[in-house]
Amino acid sequence: MDKYIINGGKRLTGEVEISGAKNAAVAIIPATILADEPCILENVPSINDVTIDLRILRELGADVKMLNRNTIRIDPRPIRDMPVPYELARSMRASYYFLSTLLNRFGHAQVPMPGGCYLGDRPMDQHLKCFRSLGAKYSIEHGVVNIEADTLYGTHIPFDKVSVGATINAMLAAVKAEGQTIIENAAKEPHIVDLANFLNSMGADIMGAGTDVIKIKGVSRLHGAEYAIIPDQIEAGTFMIAVAATKGDALIKNVIPKHLEPITSKLRKIGVVVMEYDDSVRVIGQGNYEHTMVRTMPHPGFPTDMQPQFAALLTLANGTSIINEGIFDNRFRYADELRRMGADISVDGKMAIIEGVDHLTGAPVKATDLRAGAALIIAGLSTDGVTEIEDIYHIERGYDNMDGKLRAMGADIVKRTFSESIRQAI
């Protein structure tokens, strides 16, 4: 059982290099199955969700080689026609991208229902709607989605709800379908655009990614490609908030400032200084922040994946802040843990009211999901005293070397591994 132990109160300074985007990588890696030649992916984050994706590819028979820590060569040609392993698929959300990619390659696929962070109800009706519209048949038995179609036919897919996952599955399914597909009410997140750029670099014909209407002309084959994944918008935002929470001054490098705009504008609104450069932002914290209102929305609105981290910062702002979670039903599970540290948060369904306090105190807390874990790190860094965070496996699913990067910026954070027997003895 691993823990982070943080001795807080140290300002974050210097610089940090942001890694590749998790939510782009976990879509682009399965997309290599669509090619009939090897692909080389660069700037791939070294995170557990990527490790699981690569394990699934290897189990299916793909030839996967790490060329260095963040560059992977994937040869999909030896892949066998077999079900995706249950436990691997269940340990992350994005395993559902193997549905569209294996369906395209073999005319059928068997993929267990996905797992991932518990954020309330996370149905797949929009994914299944898009497969049905393209002409596929599916059934769900024993926890496995079985899907088949001799041929997929291009069509019109008006989503009832903006969904990142369903938009990506529709693109991955339609890219080799017969004819044109028009996706309406599509998600516009940066990782949607990154996937479209990757597929187009393999010879696909996708237009409009990043807008709410995506047009895809199906092609008969996709060739190999070399592609660098975009920087992680959410990792960058997390570090911006960590610097602000510690009243620090640091340069966040290898970012696309445009992707960070919804975060930058909120930080500036409460009194954080953010200076934008071509591929970096400088954040200067001063520690006397104003309260504010945040509503999470699909991109380009304020990202739900930044909500817990921003809440951690607002616990130390003057006055009453309000957070409306516009995407998920249950994304305030971190509130209990922040209350252990002295935060004043009241939650009512999809809304949280935060009364600013002048300081938090260190405490033993638990990460309940990936971004909740990041929020606890930020709270721990901002307090004088020791914070111990358990269940950090959630955090390591989506952050590349988080503790190492923070230490390089002056934080006192260590990762401790406790064997089960010691834990029981304690």
Enumerate the active-site residues.
117
Q: Identify whether the C-beta of residue 168 lies closer than 8 Å to the C-beta of residue 194.
A: no
- Is residue 32 classed as helix, strand or coil in its secondary structure? helix
Q: Is 94 in the site for ligand EPZ (CB under 6 A)?
A: yes
Alpha carbons 136 and 152: distance in angstroms, whole number: 7
Interface region with ligand EPZ, contact rule CB under 6 A, candidates 157-165, 199-207, 253-261, 355-363: 157-165
- Residue 27 C-beta: closest distance to ligand EPZ, Å: 7
Residue from 289, 328, 334, 399 touching ligand EPZ (CB under 6 A): that is 328
Alpha carbons 397 and 131: distance in angstroms, whole number: 28
- State how far Cα 68 lies from the chain centre: 22
Interface region with ligand EPZ, contact rule CB under 6 A, candidates 52-60, 116-124, 251-259, 314-322: 116-124
Q: Which residues pair with 290 in a beta bridge?
A: 318
Q: Is 33 in the site for ligand EPZ (CB under 6 A)?
A: no
Q: Which is nearer to ligand EPZ, 366 or 371 (CB)?
A: 371
Residue from 125, 184, 279, 344 touching ligand EPZ (CB under 6 A): that is 125
Q: Is 122 in the site for ligand EPZ (CB under 6 A)?
A: yes
Interface region with ligand EPZ, contact rule CB under 6 A, candidates 13-21, 124-132, 317-325, 417-425: 124-132
Q: Identify whether the C-beta of residue 412 lies closer than 8 Å to the C-beta of residue 248.
A: no
Q: Which residue has the tokens 């130390």?
A: 316
- Is residue 81 classed as helix, strand or coil in its secondary structure? coil
Alpha carbons 8 and 213: distance in angstroms, whole number: 46
Q: Which is nearer to ligand EPZ, 111 or 251 (CB)?
A: 111
Interface region with ligand EPZ, contact rule CB under 6 A, candidates 30-38, 114-122, 133-141, 223-231: 114-122
Classify residue 51 as exposed, middle or buried by CB count within 10 Å of its CB (0-12, 13-18, 19+): middle
Residue from 93, 266, 350, 405 touching ligand EPZ (CB under 6 A): that is 93
* Residues 6+ positions from 425 with CB-CB distance below 8 Å: none
User: Footprint of ligand EPZ on residues 178-197 (CB under 6 A)?
Assistant: 187
Q: Which is nearer to ligand EPZ, 320 or 401 (CB)?
A: 401
Q: Which is nearer to ligand EPZ, 104 or 368 (CB)?
A: 368
Q: Is 368 in the site for ligand EPZ (CB under 6 A)?
A: no
Q: Which is nearer to ligand EPZ, 164 or 229 (CB)?
A: 164
373-411 exposure pattern, b = at least 16 Cβ within 10 A, e = fewer: bbbbbbbbbbbeeebbbbbbebbbbbbbbbbebbeebeb
- State how far Cα 146 lies from the chain centre: 26
Q: Which is nearer to ligand EPZ, 111 or 363 (CB)?
A: 111
Q: Is 405 in the site for ligand EPZ (CB under 6 A)?
A: no
Nearest to 49 by CA among 93, 99, 82, 98: 93
Total H helices, total E strands in the chain: 15, 23
Q: Which is nearer to ligand EPZ, 131 or 227 (CB)?
A: 131
Interface region with ligand EPZ, contact rule CB under 6 A, candidates 141-149, 162-170, 263-271, 343-351: 162-170
Instruction: Indicate the residue whose CB is closest to ligand EPZ.
Output: 165
- DSSP structure string for 110-128: EEEPP-----S----HHHH
Q: Is 101 in the site for ligand EPZ (CB under 6 A)?
A: no
- Residue 423 C-beta: closest distance to ligand EPZ, Å: 27
Which residues of this chain interact with ligand EPZ, rule CB under 6 A? 22-23, 26, 93-94, 117, 121-127, 161, 163-166, 187, 304-305, 327-328, 370-371, 398
